[in-house]
A and B are shown apart, each in its own frame.
Chain A
């Protein structure tokens, strides 16, 4: 059985700044981290591997510049068996469409896969599109907002999925794409030094567009269907109004405010 876990290296979300002139995210000097949603997905994959009786290979897959190897090293330390980095200038500037084309071809290259694990979204773009698009390109079902994978066998997976109303348990045929949504308080497992040293000896590969086949124009900026016109930080909100009075006075003040603003 094989699980492929797609991961992304993202800037530390607590330190993102946007260059006002170019409208792009300033990445220089900003620490990069493994996208926390993907880390959760990897944790689910490793837990599932430990629970099933069959042999499972976990392949961590990422697309990005050479330094994204660092995120894959962490995946190998956490429990992935091997890692593949899709790195090529041809892949640069990809939107979610071109990214999902690239990833789905890479998964095909990896071989028969039972579950494609992904984070629900990436903390830098927050689109939540890549997972479902990968599923569409591969022609396989998709489960999104998954918080738990209960079991898997050669034909089906049972997972718990969060909805607006609560949770639902779904039995789904494999192969399947599962987009994982961490639960509050989730603490990813911390790789120890032994695991980090062991990760050094695991298989790591870098693939370019030539390894995936197809025309270079299908990848990266050329293969993208969307164009980012502008990226900017929203203007800071003004100071709020705090009504700190006895309830009767406070309610009156609030009602006056709503009327003055034309809300009521």
Chain B
């Protein structure tokens, strides 16, 4: 045995189907560190096992991800983050999707904790930052978003939870459901961004009078409901909670009263970028794993990869994956430009290079397209592998069940994305606000 063989080796910044030449030196190192960490802590067989065993997400992996610095990297350095760009964070989300194609890790710690956590940090006061955001960055707490209610999720503005002021406090009532990470938050502490109505519903403008609060999971009067038994991404929980006269101090209001809807749209934008990015990573991992199999497996005397029926499908998905990667890069770049040109978040009309609705269109395009690509690629891979692909011996069925979550609704269903894209391309006369 050559002496260098004592090293595990094999972890390169470049994986089989990725082109890293457009990455910065730092981004290549991020990638190398994440892949090396994953090889030690989250190899594919563990991902499959975690998915089978279900939530809560292993505590030591939350700490591991936090120690690596992947959670909320875009939060400014002076507030405990790393001041990463959205391009940096999107690359991290891509690798997280590659490492865990079940998307549980991406859903819990990219879309929710990073996309929404970053937005919480922007609108929270220092007390919430110190007590919840910064510990979540360190992996000691879980923070997330609770928008969906039993009456609906896609129709964000049509919510029923209420908030009434009582002295220096607000009293919150109502129910939130289909929330990621409730069991994890129960286990390690944390809390949620919760939207409530703080004024009369305005006819024709249901989004008005929405106010956002940060609500600790252990608040008196807050009762978590039973977690759902989801089809996939099972290592992170999906649950809900009922609020009965939950009291939160005035300081726990996020941003200004009645502006919650706008902050929520900002949070969706941030989460959706990271979803698109992680779905690129999921797709690349599926293609790499499938490529290994179809090059080896012989049928009627030839490897599967020599049959054009499979070869061409593989190439089509690979091409779509690279096109998606470029789209995600563009969108992340737009978001960096947007945050550089302050003023947009307040909808002040001062956005310069891109308008908020233009960025939202691009974000919706990747949120709609890339998870579907990942799901369809997993579907193809299962067909290429046959019975083996359908079994949990390989990652494909785990990935297929996981990414379906992003197709059907998590962080906005496919048809909602199409409405946003349609309005920006065809115009409001054809796709009006409802």
Contact = CB atoms under 8 A, between A and B. Distances in A.
Interface in B1-45: 2-4, 6-10, 12-14, 25-26, 28-30, 32-33, 36-37, 40
Nearest to A183: B6
Contacts of B68: 190, 192-193
A159 B30 CA distance: 33
A200 interface: yes
Contacts of A196: 26, 29-30, 33
A113 interface: no
Contacts of A182: 6-7
A238 interface: no
B33 A193 contact: yes
Contacts, number: 68
Interface stretch (A19-27, A68-76, A171-179, A246-254): A68-76
A123 interface: yes
B25 A193 contact: no
Interface string A180-207: 0010111100111110110110000000
Contacts of A13: 4, 9
Nearest to B26: A196
A190 B37 contact: yes
Contacts of A130: none
Nearest to A70: B25
Contacts of A197: 26, 82-84
Interface in A109-139: 120-121, 123, 126
Interface in B66-102: 67-70, 73, 82-84, 92
A77 interface: yes
What range describes how many residues of A lie at the interface?
Answer: 20 to 34
A33 interface: yes
A190 B69 contact: no
Contact of A190 (B3, B7, B33, B84): B33
Q: Which of B7, B12, B69 has the most CB of A within 10 A?
A: B7
B152 to A, nearest CB: 38
Nearest to A12: B12
A14 interface: yes
A65 interface: no
Interface in B164-189: none
Contacts of A187: 8, 40
A10 to B, nearest CB: 9
A36 interface: yes
Nearest to A188: B36
Interface of B: 2-4, 6-10, 12-14, 25-26, 28-30, 32-33, 36-37, 40, 67-70, 73, 82-84, 92
9 contacts: A121-B3, A126-B2, A186-B7, A191-B29, A192-B33, A193-B33, A193-B73, A197-B83, A199-B29
Given A190-B68, A197-B83, 9 more contacts: A14-B9, A31-B12, A33-B12, A70-B28, A73-B25, A184-B6, A190-B37, A193-B73, A193-B82
